[in-house]
Structure 1
């Protein structure tokens, strides 16, 4: 889906992501938030929609956090997503620096924040599309509560997360606490973030972000095919 006129080499993610609001101060403040889940944001009517958490949805219990290890690959089997992960920092404006536009099928992880499996929310960001084709997180809004997110870590272990809810956060009413804050101060959590809402061709921006929240429910040792609940391999 074309995004209209703009300088060559500039993608929708680069020009339009709402997570440009993720300043260092907001990140540090959000990591310490201890309030429960916020209410679902208002639905959007654009090409990306999302669901909240259905009342009464039965989800597995959280497991104890793991020692912090950096991610290498992320998988969402229900969406057919398998992608490499690269660590990203903050750009000159204080926003997460996303993967280069030339890497639309790579997911960025905020490397200065939480490592997946450790206590707190680990942040992952990805393109929704490019000028000509869908990108890695194009189908992210189709995730449903109970879906599994598997993060392979650099020591070979796999941290398995369960999707808690899927929300759309409008750009005009962006709430850093809801997006980046911990749902439970003792849990290991994930946030998967991409563009959503409607796309303004003239401005080159999306109107919202799709945010998938998940929490740690299992893990596998390095080289193991069995989910574990005890001690992990050395370094995990």
Structure 2
């Protein structure tokens, strides 16, 4: 798989049938691969992560969106995540190309979508594990509302996001529009997505996705 390229400033989101195709490409366990033996310890739909935002949680106000600039690196200090970001496009079937299995500590950004910090929802995807060890987003389900996500952009600016929701979506209950679309019109948002549930060796894929949602609160 090869990295996608990003036309500057388009900031568009995939819609219609392409949403369903994008969803199919985000089962990062990967059909027909040997990834996933650590799946028994990956987040499941019974995790506390599935409760979303705790009632009464006080979160900072949203900041106005920034100019569209591509990402270079993402950090989630509370989880120990500090990883390079590469643009990924769609493969021949119309599904998003996750980072190659040979780069488990790299995060993929859907480069034909929204830039992090610009209005809309930017999509970041990463593997949960490999055949032998945890990968970049293994601890993603431990994220909690109020946690910070820092995205260093290619112009040197840093967009600061605040987590407001953490959920686990089983395959049969996945709502692509809800996950990938912005929660509030005009707001700059971010999604961090990885595998969850259990690893099904018969299909070579995980049974759920962990989705961390965040919104821009500083720069």
One fold, TM greater than 0.5? yes
Give ranges in structure 2 of 5+ residues lacking alignment. 1-12, 21-39
- CA contact under 8 A between 1:27 and 1:180: conserved in structure 2? no
Structure-2 residue corresponding to 1:152: 152
- CA contact under 8 A between 2:198 and 2:208: conserved in structure 1? yes
Three-state SS of the structure 1 residue aligned to 2:117 is coil
Q: Determine if the alignment matches structure 1 residue 86 to structure 2 residue 77.
A: no
Q: Map 1:145-224 onto structure 2 (within 5 A).
A: 145-219=145-219
What is the deviation of 1:24? 5.7
The 1:139–1:177 alpha-carbon spacing in structure 2 relative to 1, beyond 3 Å, is: same
TM-score of the two chains, using structure 2 as the length reference: 0.80
TM-score of the two chains, using structure 1 as the length reference: 0.74
- CA contact under 8 A between 2:42 and 2:138: conserved in structure 1? no
Give ranges in structure 1 of 5+ residues lacking alignment. 1-21, 30-44, 220-236
Three-state SS of the structure 2 residue aligned to 1:179 is helix
The alignment of Structure 1 onto Structure 2 pairs a total of residues equal to 183
> Distance between the aligned counterparts of 1:60 and 1:132, measured in 2?
39
Structure-2 residue corresponding to 1:137: 137
Structure-1 residue corresponding to 2:25: none
> Distance between the aligned counterparts of 2:195 and 2:125, measured in 1?
9
Which structure is larger by alpha-carbon Rg, 1 or 2?
A: 1
**What is the RMSD of the two structures over their aligned residues, measured on CA atoms?**
1.9
- CA contact under 8 A between 2:42 and 2:128: conserved in structure 1? no
Any idea what the Cα deviations from partners look like across 1:137-185, whole Å, max 9, x if unmatched?
0000000000000000000000000001100111112111111111001
The 1:129–1:192 alpha-carbon spacing in structure 2 relative to 1, beyond 3 Å, is: same
Structure 1 residue runs of 4 or more that deviate by more than 4 Å after TM superposition: 26-29
Structure-1 residue corresponding to 2:122: 122
Q: Determine if the alignment matches structure 1 residue 74 to structure 2 residue 99.
A: no
- CA contact under 8 A between 1:26 and 1:176: conserved in structure 2? no
Structure-2 residue corresponding to 1:12: none
